[in-house]
């Protein structure tokens, strides 16, 4: 990690902030020159003296698809909460690229800087169509109530249509989102995140509750996103992790720190990993 660069710890760099009446300025570009999109350094979170994260350090490369696994209570959700600004660590740093220190930023600023988070349960606008949901996501400026009245430009329409295609929801494009299956709603919500053009996507148990066919389709979607976006996927479904990990790295968290990291095969054969999964 380079430390000689100025690091953003406030809302944004020059001319920044959500100045009322002036609209929002774009955040400073994330400096990805060292190929690292996210770097956690010795992050500790305590809840009433209990260490949910214990000097956790890990880094994720630009365009990487990183799977995070670990037993219940390992600290996976707490880690995502720290990255997105929901929880402040007691110690440690979280860098987004080379130039943002997320530990000093608000949740809204972190989202605006380019980190999108998908929670486990789908949250789409059920009474709007698939197309309208994506349109609302495209227009969502977190300081302004989203509106369907502003006209779409040709290129915005094209982006929505391309996203619908990527999600394989063309047949449902003008159906109400409330009528979609659970898996389709999850894909739509991922599409809504994509409309905001995030650099890093955090996905919490994305295939929980999906059918086998939906899970398979989700794996294809994530593999298509890899490279264009950086993804951090927390998942308990090992078949799914195996399908998306490929020859990439899998990180095993346990008791708030990294227990093992390496290929899926290497971590599955690691005696320490076998013990935490089977020794309980
Ligand atoms: N707000 C909180 N107050 C007290 N303890 C908490 C709080 N949030 C999390 N914890 C504890 O911190 C530990 C880590 O929790 P966390 O939810 O991050 O684990 P996890 O790896 O996401 O687990 P799971 O796989 O079950 O979702 C757990 O022991 C949990 O009980």
Find the 257 Cα to ligand 1 centroid distance in Å: 13
Find the 53 Cα to ligand 1 centroid distance in Å: 9
The pLDDT value recorded for residue 280 is: 52
Pocket of ligand 1 (CB under 6 A): 47, 50, 52, 70, 72-78
CA distance 41 to 31: 18
Find the 244 Cα to ligand 1 centroid distance in Å: 25
Q: How many CB atoms lie within 10 A of CB 24?
A: 17
Find the 121 Cα to ligand 1 centroid distance in Å: 17
The pLDDT value recorded for residue 116 is: 94
Q: From the CA of 48, give the closest atom in ligand 1.
A: 4
Q: What is the ipTM of this complex?
A: 0.96
The pLDDT value recorded for residue 153 is: 82
| CATH 3.40.50.300 segments of the chain | 33-114+199-279
The pLDDT value recorded for residue 147 is: 61
Q: From the CA of 81, give the closest atom in ligand 1.
A: 18
pLDDT by residue, tens only, the chain of 280 residues: 444 444 555 444 323 333 333 334 456 788 888 899 999 999 999 999 999 999 999 999 999 999 999 999 999 999 999 999 999 999 999 999 988 999 989 999 999 999 999 887 778 999 999 999 999 998 765 445 556 666 788 888 999 999 999 999 999 999 999 999 999 999 999 999 999 999 999 999 999 999 999 999 999 999 999 999 999 999 999 999 999 998 899 999 999 999 999 999 999 999 999 998 866 5
User: If you take atom 11 of ligand 1, which residue's CA is the nearest one?
Assistant: 52
CA distance 276 to 254: 8
For every residue of 71-104, which 3-state class applies, written as one string?
CCCCCHHHHHHHHCCCCCCCEEEEEECCCEEHHH
Find the 251 Cα to ligand 1 centroid distance in Å: 18
Find the 73 Cα to ligand 1 centroid distance in Å: 5
Residue from 45, 75, 232 to probe ligand 1 pocket by mutation (most atoms less than 8 Å from CB): 75
* 220 contacts 249 by C-beta, under 8 angstroms: no
Find the 178 Cα to ligand 1 centroid distance in Å: 31
User: If you take atom 6 of ligand 1, which residue's CA is the nearest one?
Assistant: 47
Superfamily of 33-114+199-279 according to CATH: P-loop containing nucleotide triphosphate hydrolases (3.40.50.300)
Query: What backbone phi and psi angles, to 5 degrees, belong to 242?
Result: -60, -40
User: If you take atom 27 of ligand 1, which residue's CA is the nearest one?
Assistant: 72
């Amino acid at each position: 990690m380079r430390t000689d660069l100025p690091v953003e710890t406030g809302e944004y760099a020059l001319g920044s902030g959500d100045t009322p009446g002036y609209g929002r300025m774009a955040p400073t570009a994330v400096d990805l020159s060292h190929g690292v999109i996210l770097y956690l350094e010795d992050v500790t979170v305590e809840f009433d003296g209990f260490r949910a994260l214990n000097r956790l350090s890990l880094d994720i490369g630009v365009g990487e698809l990183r799977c995070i696994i670990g037993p219940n209570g390992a600290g996976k959700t707490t880690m995502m909460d720290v990255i997105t600004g929901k929880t402040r660590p007691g110690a440690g740093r979280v860098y987004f690229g080379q130039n943002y220190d997320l530990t000093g930023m608000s949740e809204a600023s972190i989202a605006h800087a380019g980190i999108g988070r998908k929670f486990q349960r789908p949250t789409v606008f059920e009474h709007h169509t698939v197309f309208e949901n994506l349109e609302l996501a495209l227009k969502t400026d977190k300081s302004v109530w989203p509106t369907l009245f502003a006209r779409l430009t040709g290129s915005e329409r094209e982006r929505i249509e391309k996203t619908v295609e990527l999600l394989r929801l063309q047949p449902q494009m003008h159906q109400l989102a409330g009528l979609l299956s659970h898996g389709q709603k999850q894909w739509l919500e991922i599409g809504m995140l994509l409309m905001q053009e995030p650099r890093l996507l955090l996905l919490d148990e994305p295939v929980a509750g999906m059918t086998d066919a939906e899970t398979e389709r989700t794996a294809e979607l994530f593999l298509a996103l890899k490279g264009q976006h950086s993804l951090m996927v927390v998942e308990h479904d090992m078949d799914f992790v195996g399908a998306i990990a490929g020859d990439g790295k899998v990180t095993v968290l346990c008791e708030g720190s990294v227990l093992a990291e390496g290929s899926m095969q290497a971590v599955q054969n690691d005696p320490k990993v076998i013990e935490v999964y089977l020794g309980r």
